[in-house]
Amino acid sequence: MRLVIFGRQGAGKGTQSKLLAEHFGVPHISTGDIFRAAISAGTEIGLAAKAIMDRGDLVPDDVLRGIVAERLAQSDAADGWLLDGFPRTPTQADDLDQIADPPLDLAINLEVPEDVVVERISSRRVCKAEGHIYTANDPSARSGICEVDGSAVVQRDDDTESAVRHRLEVYAEQTEPLLARYGESNRLVTVDGAGAVADVAGRVVTGINDGLAR
């Protein structure tokens, strides 16, 4: 099973991806998580990406190509993967066509209206170690300590209002047009991402199974 998940920031991609990856037994590969880990580790890529990410801009395509090609070549990705946050530009979609062998099976579009996502992002909190996601009112967010791994729970540096607005613009301009491309090759599944996490997860799995059967 080779999948990518699309959706504007705050649509629930990270949360749904973790559930989906578990359900289908494939690794969840989030390019944003890879960059955040690189920043924490202080690597060269992390240092270069930090300022770009904090502004809400995109890291250059050639950097992504190398990272994704290397990650998909690892043994845990031999039988499938779920990509979250890649591709984000037409060049990245071309690169994925070249890298993915066997090719991508389906693209999932998690659809949530813009006013709902702005609200969700402003209350989003994440843990530093593994990116577990909380809302501001969850006990882990209130205590500042992740209930799963004990690391600090913080607001992402790029979840500020101005960076969020810019990221939504970048998504609309550069990423959303890619959906048509997957639609044309009959590989697009669109799912309503509003509502409770478990309900959305059920709709996503049904959508994927229907998409694979057609």
Residues at the contact surface with ligand AMP, assessed by CB under 6 A: 9, 31-32, 35, 52-53, 56-59, 64, 85-86, 88, 92, 158, 167
What distance in Å separates the CA atoms of residue 75 and residue 209, rounded to the nearest whole number? 25
Instruction: Tell me whether residue 46 is annotated as binding.
Output: no
Q: Is 55 a catalytic residue?
A: no
What distance in Å separates the CA atoms of residue 83 and residue 73, rounded to the nearest whole number? 13
Q: Is 156 a catalytic residue?
A: yes
Catalytic choice (65, 71, 124, 187): 124
- What type of residue is 117? V
CA distances from 26 to 7, 19, 95, 183, 187 (A): 20, 10, 21, 23, 19
* Residue-wise burial string across 192-214, b where 16 or more C-beta atoms lie within 10 A, e elsewhere: ebeeeeeebbebbbebbeebeee
Q: Is 142 a catalytic residue?
A: no
Catalytic choice (8, 13, 65, 125): 13
CB of 56 to ligand AMP, least distance (A): 6
Between 161 and 210, whose beta carbon lies closer to ligand AMP?
A: 161
Instruction: Tell me whether residue 167 is annotated as binding.
Output: yes
> What tokens appear for 179 in the block?
């959906």
Q: Is 65 a catalytic residue?
A: no
Q: Is 124 a catalytic residue?
A: yes
Annotated binding site for ATP: 10-15, 124, 133-134, 195
Q: Mind telling me the catalytic residues?
A: 13, 88, 124, 156, 167
